[in-house]
Amino acid sequence: MTRIAVVPGVLALLPEYAAQQDPVPELRAACLAAVAWLGPDPVVLGDAQGKRVARALMSVVEEGRQARPSVVEEGRQARPSVVEEGRQARPSVVEEGRQAQPSVVEEGRQARPSVVEEGRQARLETTDGTGGFETGARAPSSTTNAGYLVVANGTARRSRSSPGPYDDRARPFDDVLAKALVTPDPEALRALDPDLARELWASTGALTELADLLVGGESVTVDYDDAPYGVQYWVVRYTW
């Protein structure tokens, strides 16, 4: 079984930047639940800052596993328990995310069966086991368990409250990116314009690698979809 989680590289998730009041409690809960769902030692894909965020999340989850071994066992055997825990802690966000985009998920699944098949065939031909990715990511296999933690997020220039100056190209960019993630659509992820992403302060470098990992037919769950500080975040999980 292969599991992939996408989380945003939000520096406020780092323990060194913790304030008394968590500015992103729902996002943090979604990220931690997703990382716990991945299981131990996932491959981390992202830029240097993103990897720091990923490792911090993994450390928190690992500490939780050590502190609560019964939960670890539950999580390892069936994995849904940890995710369920996260879901219970933030039902409104989960429901929000699910309600906001189910039609897109369904649409993508129904509309691209041939692409899914194409993707699978192409991967088998080009990767030949585990050595086919420049990133060092392991190729997924139906007979092995693999986990990937991908750190990426949308634009930071999408509203007047964004960190970056407002740019009216930001929301359309995020819309395209959202659809590519949720469908999922590897070709659309590969087609993202890196220069435009850079201009819009989006962190999408790892999404090409995500596209390489997606083989089609994945189950997609959107745990978080919001832009609380004018930066577009998603927490998305894929499994097959």
Partner 1 sequence: MLKLGRHVYADDQPLVMAIVNRTPDSFYDQGATYAEEAALERVAQAVEEGADIVDIGGVKAGYGPEVDAAEEIRRVGSFVGRVRAAHPDLVISVDTWRSEVARVVCQEGADLLNDAWGGHDPALVDVAAAAGAAIVCTHTGGLRPRTDPHRQEYDDVVAAAIADTTAYAGRALAAGVARESIVIDPAHDFGKNTFHSLEVTRRIGEMVSTGWPVLVSLSNKDFVGETLGRPAGERLAGTLAATAVCALGGARIYRVHQVRETRDVVDMTWSIAGRRRPLQAIRGLA
Binding flag, residue 48, partner 1 (CB under 8 A)? no
Contact 233, 154 (CB under 8 A): yes
Q: Which of 231, 234, 236, 238 binds partner 1 (CB under 8 A)?
A: 231
**Of 230, 234, 236, 237, which lies in the binding site for partner 1, with binding defined by CB under 8 A?**
230
Cis bond upstream, residue 184 (ω within 30): yes
Interface with partner 1, residue 104, by CB under 8 A: no
| Count, residues near partner 1 per rule CB under 8 A | 16
Q: Count the Cβ atoms, other than its own, within 10 Å of residue 45.
A: 27
In the numeric block, the tokens 């930066």 are attached to 231
When the beta carbons of 20 and 77 are compared against partner 1, the nearer one is: 20
Q: Is 78 in the site for partner 1 (CB under 8 A)?
A: no
List the interface residues with partner 1, window 11-30 (CB under 8 A): 11-12, 17-21, 23-24
229 binding partner 1? (CB under 8 A): yes
Q: Looking only at residues 134 through 163 of this chain, which bind partner 1 when binding is defined by CB under 8 A? A: 156, 163
Angle separating helix axes 91-100 and 80-89, nearest 10 degrees: 100
Residue among 109, 74, 53 at smallest CA distance from 238:
109
Q: Which segments of 17-133 does DSSP mark as H helices, in order?
A: 25-38, 48-67, 69-77, 80-89, 91-100, 102-111, 113-127
- Rounded CA-CA distance 82/85 in Å is 5
Q: Minimum distance from CB of 86 to partner 1 (Å)? A: 22
- Cβ neighbours around 95 below 10 Å, total: 11
Q: Does 114 bind partner 1 (CB under 8 A)?
A: no
* Residue 203 DSSP class: B
Residue 101 or 155: the one with the smaller Cβ distance to partner 1 is: 155
For partner 1, which is the closer residue by CB, 12 or 188? 12
The residues that touch partner 1, with contacts defined as CB under 8 A, are 10-12, 17-21, 23-24, 156, 163, 228-231
